[in-house]
Amino acid sequence: MDSSILIESFAEFAKFKNIDRPTMMRILEDVFRTMIRKKWGTDENFDIILNVEKGDLEIWRNREIVDDNSEDIWDHDKISLSEAQKIEPDFEIGEEVAEEIKLEDFGRRAVLTARQTLIQRVKDLEKDLMYQKYKDLVGEIISGEVYQIWNREVMLVDPEDNELILPKAEQISKDRYRKGDVVRAVVHRVEIVNGTPRIILSRTSPVFLERLFENEVPEIYDGLIIIKNIVREPGERAKVAVESYDDRIDPVGACVGMKGSRIHSIVRELENENIDVINYTDNLELYIQRALSPAKISSMKINEEEGRVSVFLKPDQVSLAIGKGGQNIKLASRLVGLEIDVFREQEEYEEDISIDEFSDEIEDWVLDELKRIGLDTAKSVLAVTREDLVRRTELEEETVDEVLSIIRQEFESDNS
pLDDT tens figures, 372-396: 887 888 888 888 888 888 888 888 8
Secondary structure (3-state) at 360: coil
The per-residue pLDDT for range 139-198, each reduced to its tens digit, is 999 999 999 999 999 999 999 889 999 999 999 999 999 999 999 999 999 999 888 899
| Topology, domain 137-204 | OB fold (Dihydrolipoamide Acetyltransferase, E2P) (2.40.50)
Confidence of residue 6 (pLDDT cuts 50, 70, 90): confident
At residue 98, what is the residue type?
A
Q: Identify the DSSP state of 57.
A: E
Residue 273 clears pLDDT 90, i.e. is over it: yes
Give residue limits of the domains in the chain: 3-126, 137-204, 205-280, 355-415
pLDDT tens-digit map of 311-337: 998 888 888 898 888 899 999 999 999
Q: At residue 3, does pLDDT exceed 90?
A: no
Name the maximum alpha-carbon separation found in the chain: 130
Containing H/E element for 319?
Answer: helix 315-322
Which CATH topology does 3-126 take?
Answer: N Utilization Substance Protein A; Chain:P; domain 4 (3.30.1480)
- Can you say how many angstroms the Cα of residue 131 is from the centroid of all Cα atoms in its chain? 13
pLDDT at 380: 81
- What pLDDT is stored for residue 414 in this prediction? 57
Q: Which of 294, 299, 324 is nearest to 312 (CA)?
A: 299
Query: Under DSSP, is residue 381 helix (H, G, I), strand (E, B) or coil?
Result: helix
Whether 410 has a pLDDT exceeding 50, the answer reads yes
Mean pLDDT, rounded, of the chain: 88
Query: Which CATH code is given to the segment(s) 205-280?
Result: 3.30.300.20
Phi, then psi, of 332 in degrees rounded to 5 = -65, -40
The string of pLDDT tens digits covering residues 211-228 is 999 999 999 999 999 999
413 has a pLDDT exceeding 70: no
**In contact, 181 and 145? CB cutoff 8 Å:** yes
**Residue 211 to residues 143, 205, 218: CA-CA distances in angstroms?**
13, 10, 12
Distance from C-alpha of 57 to C-alpha of 118, rounded to nearest angstrom: 15
Four-residue CA torsion sign, 402, 404, 410, 415: negative
- pLDDT of 370 higher than 90: no
